[in-house]
Amino acid sequence: FRPEGFAGVEKIYDRGVFDYLSVSLWCDYLNYIQEHDPSVRECSPDGISKARNLFERALTAAGLHVAEGNKIWELYREFEQAVLHTIDENDIKAKELQVQRIRNIFHRQLSVPLVNLRSTLLAYKAWEVEQGIDLDARSSEVDGISSHLASAYQKAMEAYNVRAQHEEQISMQNISDTEKIQNFMNYFKFEKSVGDPARVQVLYERAIADFPISIDLWLDYTRYLDRTLKVGNVLRDVYSRATKNCPWIGELWVQYMLSLERGRAPEKEISSVFEKSLQCTFSTIEEYLDLFLTRVHGLRRRIECGGEVNGVLDYSLIRETFQHASDYLSPHLKNTDGLLRLYAYWARLEMNLGKDLVAARRVWESLLKISGSTLEAWQGFIAMETESGHISEARSIYKRCFSKRFPGTGSEDICHSWLRFEEEFGTLEAFDHAIQKVTPRLEELKLYRIQQETKASTDQSEVSGKKIAREKRKGGSTATGKESPAKRQKQTAQTQKKGYEDKDQLQKYEVNEAREAKIDLEKTDSAPDEKQMKGSDVVRTKGYTDQCTVFISNIHFKANSEDIRKFFSDVGGVASIRILHDRNTGKSRGLAYVDFVDDEHLAAAITKNKQLLFGKRLSIARSDPKQNRRDDRRVPREQAFASDRRRHNWESASKEYVDTHNASGSQEAPKTATLKSDDNIQFKGKNIFAVPRNVRTLGLSANKSKTVEEGDEKPKSNDEFRKMFIKE
């Protein structure tokens, strides 16, 4: 040991016991001082005072440590006992004073819930016997001691017994860190319910010593101290250690600065902590933003309250902090709400606290250079000028930005905002001028939206068409392509027998049906009301089973999914809505599928058949996927939709469906007659080729002869007629 190295070793001990709670380190420190400090070793008055102060520090830090705190108490008593032996026998007063000091240490220890407390009581009794007090030193009961000490001892024993289970859990070996932390959390909950902050703090220190870089522990510890102790020095020390162990947590630095502000710390200390925080590396840029804003908030509060006690704060310090934040954060927060918040706050303080309108305008102009494509930046600038009564300046900003292109509907919003501004603040001439400027801009934006929607619709149709073509190349196009030529020839001959003598007409019907079914599939799977993944160029085709679905026709072209959902609001149970759209125009075809969650809601929905929506009677029928199956195999969706549509037309024979079909892209046709029981009814229009045999087509009079083979005299039912046309 070198005497000149004593001071350095003492500093190392001080740092160690400051950073972490360790009873063994405290004991080493105390023994080192007694052994190597000459003044303490010789029991000089200064040495004794120094040792006692160190022992009291140790008791404050670890004297409540349930499992190991008794070691420090014992060292303290041994030191005072050694001092007692150094006192002259003739100095009765000094000896009595020292005996009382040792007795007080015993009493203090016996009132604290510690391990081996019963052994401490026996040691105290034996010591009192040495001092001439008549006690039963072998008895562990409280007989013979003062009632005050006996009561304190019994309370301490009860408190220890309650904590014994928690102490056993946190001292368990061979358990995971997660389990051990959870045991500490349970212990925290118990100690907080008792309500002794000193004991809670010691328990937190014990947990921190075991898990020094646990973020949750440090955050929980500091929040507890902020709520309960609020002692400046204690909080400052804990936050200093927290940021030293977990410097990458921005929230700890923010709370550290707030704690210093609550404790009336000088500006120099707060500034030092702030500068240290900026040298750390955080996981998100928002944490840096929070640090800058916390710093500005603190400066603003202290300036508004009259500055600090020993110094003067002025607004220039806030301006420097904002400029530092702008240089630091602007490259990373471009076009974000965080940067807008920073600059808006800056401009407001320039106006209200700095009393400098020109500087506030410079702040907004700086933001526009960085985030000029952000609508909120322009709106904030305009709001500041409007609130300040500078109408001309606000109008000039509108003139600068109304022709800019903003995301979403921002371009339209700024135009309408300008018109409202002129209505509320401007003259009639200014309002007319704004209309003259805004109107062509709105028309241009409207045309641009239509072009973009048409382009997107076309691109989606092309993608869907390419996907269908790939599927055809992979697995065969349709069931018809798998049939043999003889079978297709036989089916064609049978079809002609059923009333289709015009071969060209039949071929045209098949082509039209296939084309329309393809359009229906594309538009159903890529309808505007379907949610699609952002940034994706490909629309994935969905598979619909139509197990609990209704098919609706004669829908008004202006009706959207929300209107249909409101129409069924009294029924409820709507799962999804698929409106079919025209491929070229993107407009509604007046047809839709509505999926329900169960058959009860579906049955209730069908009862709304023929009810009005936007002045048009809806035709509602169940979409039956079973009619589209053969040999337990699902037919393509193109054929399924075509079958649903034909069945719906044949069974309802309604005027509304024909009108809708014609309006969705078909050629204009004469009005269709309503279905009657009279057999002389005639259908007019384009789709006259797919009707049951017992309904006469246009141009077939009652006297016209028919070619009917034997066995076909009996009219076929709808189901028989449908099965004849559905192909695998």
Structure tokens at 286: 């928002």
Confidence at residue 475, expressed as pLDDT on a 0 to 100 scale: 56
pTM, 2 dp:
0.61
For the cut 90, the answer to whether the pLDDT of residue 716 exceeds it is no
User: Would you list the DSSP string of 325-373?
Assistant: HHHHHTTTSTTSHHHHHHHHHHHHHHHHTS--HHHHHHHHHHHHHHHTT
For the cut 80, the answer to whether the pLDDT of residue 524 exceeds it is no
Reduce the DSSP state of residue 574 to 3 states and report it.
Answer: strand
Backbone angles phi, psi at 550, to 5 degrees: -110, 150
Cα separation, 270 vs 641, in Å, equals 72
Report the pLDDT averaged over residues 636-658: 45
| Region of residue 307 (phi > 0: left; psi between -120 and 50: alpha; otherwise: beta) | left
Q: Please answer whether residues 330 and 343 qualify as being in contact, where contact means their C-beta atoms are separated by less than 8 angstroms.
A: no
Q: Please answer whether residues 188 and 203 qualify as being in contact, where contact means their C-beta atoms are separated by less than 8 angstroms.
A: yes
Per-residue pLDDT band for 663 (boundaries 50, 70, 90) equals very low
Per-residue pLDDT band for 459 (boundaries 50, 70, 90) equals confident
Q: Please answer whether residues 622 and 551 qualify as being in contact, where contact means their C-beta atoms are separated by less than 8 angstroms.
A: yes
Longest dimension (CA), the chain: 152
Give kind and range of the element (H or E) at residue 643. Answer: helix 637-652
Q: Which residue has the higher pLDDT, 2 or 287?
A: 287
Confidence at residue 307, expressed as pLDDT on a 0 to 100 scale: 58
Per-residue pLDDT band for 241 (boundaries 50, 70, 90) equals very high
Confidence at residue 722, expressed as pLDDT on a 0 to 100 scale: 66
Lowest mean pLDDT among 164-173, 186-195, 225-234, 498-507: 498-507
Distances (CA, A) of 163 to 72, 95, 146: 20, 38, 26
Structure tokens at 625: 């996927």
Tell me whether strands 588-596 and 549-553 are parallel, antiparallel or unpaired.
Answer: antiparallel
Residue 698 makes CB contacts below 8 A (sequence gap 6+) with 682, 683, 684, 688
pLDDT in tens, 194-212: 989 999 999 999 999 999 9
Lowest mean pLDDT among 184-188, 197-201, 382-386, 446-450: 446-450
Average pLDDT along the chain: 79
Cα separation, 36 vs 50, in Å, equals 13
Which of 167-171, 547-551, 712-716 is the most confident on average? Answer: 167-171
Confidence at residue 518, expressed as pLDDT on a 0 to 100 scale: 44
Report the pLDDT averaged over residues 410-422: 95
Lowest mean pLDDT among 171-185, 397-411, 426-440, 645-659: 645-659
| Region of residue 261 (phi > 0: left; psi between -120 and 50: alpha; otherwise: beta) | alpha
Query: Any idea how long the chain is?
Result: 728
Cα separation, 127 vs 350, in Å, equals 73
Reduce the DSSP state of residue 130 to 3 states and report it.
Answer: helix
Structure tokens at 202: 């010691």
Buried b (16+ CB within 10 A) or exposed e, 423-453: eeebeeebbeebeebbeebeeeeeeeeeeee
Q: Which of 340, 215, 339 is nearest to 285 (CA)?
A: 339
